[in-house]
Amino acid sequence: MDYVYGPGRNHLFVPGPVNIPEQVIRAMSRNNEDYRSPAIPAMTKTLLEDVKKIFKTTSGTPFLIPTTGRCSDISSLQIGTGAWESALTNTLSPGDRIVSFLIGQFSLLWIDQQKRLNFNVDVVESDWGQGANLDILASKIAADSSHTIKAICIVHNETATGVTNNLATVRKILDHYQHPALFLVDGVSSICALDFRMDEWGIDVALTGSQKALSLPTGMGIVCAGPKALEATKTAKSVRVFFDWNDYLKFYKLGTYWPYTPSIQLLYGLRAALDLIFEEGLDNVIARHGRLAKATRQLAFSIVIVYPSLRFILFAWKPRLAVEAWGLKNCTQKEEWFSDTVTAVVVPSHIDSSEIVRRAWKRYNLSLGLGLNKVAGKVFRIGHLGHLNELQLLGCLAGVEMVLNDVGYPAKLGSGVAAASAYLQNSTPLIPSRI
């Protein structure tokens, strides 16, 4: 029973937490077990091996940490971070210089944590809606011949603005200058949904959270450390207890795996989630995310928009983004940064985007993402990640069209849906397991 009942299914289109597949829910519906019995270590061993596949690493060492990326109110900035903190404290010492990119709410929160952990944070700031400024990174790395920069911290996909950063370029810059800085990546809203290649891009620590593209309940941080990061733990002086990788490694060696009690249910859930991803094929999963994202932004050849002030009908004949089919703009400023897991839609200044989110939930049982911090009231977000298919997305887009009209923005009903479904009808392949 919903805490506040709504008929039918809730259309969950926030960019995490996302829909949990029935198979995962069923797999988790079980009793507690003795985690010291032979069964749980045996399952953990296969989980650790399999989880490496979602990072595309063979040399990394994963840690399944009972936490999330961040665990407090997003507006307060009083944040205790799990996976982030684990990545930083295991590899760095207080005072270490870090280059970190501020491009939206989640990079802001990570930077806040970095500062509070007493690192010397060199912040590279861009407008919200832009990607990380990698030209500035290149000039900082070029100027740093004495290697004072110990780490580069970057959020692969900034969930607040729908911006994806180019990680391959970061690696190229470091390699070009033969710079040894660690490369730490927040892949919370990218891993398992976007192209992510830990080994190929030389990422030293990558992390995600269970409630994003893995489509599990909240509660498990998944951190993967490359060999250089593991080596760095030997000299890293940051205080760490709960997140200390050495405690895990000790139990890995013993073959019992757990320094403390794991959530048995989440482990079975993770097993089922990984099985589903491998059944579909990770590359197919990534392609599906690309398709759903394009459909959200997709091109409409003939769109009717009724402008509120001018009250005339405009026929647009050239290809447009789906959100543009409604006469609205994507918060992401350039195509190279478009995110395949979240689209942040900018609304006209006379409309409060929070009202769109409120009404969508109250009237249509549709959950959209709020605009956060700097873009609060200015954008709403459509999350298209995790366990989701084409027709579910069309339901969301139809709901958005209706709610836009509800708040006084006369988007032509059906225009975004038509654009998206035309694209999807041409691009959706047969379901791999049903061919």
86 makes contact with ligand PLP (CB under 6 A): no
Question: In this complex, which beta carbon is closest to ligand PLP, that of residue 69 or of residue 371?
Answer: 69
d(CA 431, CA 435): 6
Q: In the numeric block, which tokens belong to residue 300?
A: 């409409």
At residue 302's C-alpha, the angle toward residues 381 and 354, to 5°, is 20
| Out of 18, 51, 137, 188, the residue judged to bind ligand PLP by CB under 6 A | 188
Only one of the segments 54-62, 63-71, 279-287, 410-418 lies at the binding site for ligand PLP (rule: CB under 6 A); that segment is 63-71
List phi, psi (to 5°) of 306.
-105, 110
385 makes contact with ligand PLP (CB under 6 A): no
| Out of 209, 226, 369, 399, the residue judged to bind ligand PLP by CB under 6 A | 209
208 makes contact with ligand PLP (CB under 6 A): no
70 makes contact with ligand PLP (CB under 6 A): yes
Pairing of strands 97-102, 120-125: parallel
Helix (H, G, I), strand (E, B) or coil at 210: coil
106 makes contact with ligand PLP (CB under 6 A): yes
Number of chain residues interacting with ligand PLP (CB under 6 A): 12
Write out the binding residues for substrate.
381
Question: In this complex, which beta carbon is closest to ligand PLP, that of residue 189 or of residue 298?
Answer: 189
Least spacing, CB of residue 249 vs ligand PLP, in Å: 24
Q: In the numeric block, which tokens belong to residue 328?
A: 């609205």
| Out of 19, 44, 68, 100, the residue judged to bind ligand PLP by CB under 6 A | 68
159 makes contact with ligand PLP (CB under 6 A): yes
Sequence length of the chain is 435
Only one of the segments 65-73, 267-275, 330-338, 357-365 lies at the binding site for ligand PLP (rule: CB under 6 A); that segment is 65-73
Per the listing, tokens 């990680």 go with 167
Is the distance from CB of 196 to CB of 187 less than 8 angstroms? yes
215 makes contact with ligand PLP (CB under 6 A): no
Write out the binding residues.
381
Q: How far is CA 373 from CA 75, 157, 288, 376, in A?
A: 7, 17, 30, 5
Question: In this complex, which beta carbon is closest to ligand PLP, that of residue 158 or of residue 204?
Answer: 158
User: H or E element: which one contains 313?
Assistant: strand 313-316
Residue 248 has, within 13 A of its CA and on its CB side, a CA count of: 23
Cα maximum dimension of the chain = 72
Least spacing, CB of residue 72 vs ligand PLP, in Å: 8
The residues of the shown chain that bind ligand PLP, judged by CB under 6 A, are: 16, 68-71, 106, 155, 159, 186, 188-189, 209
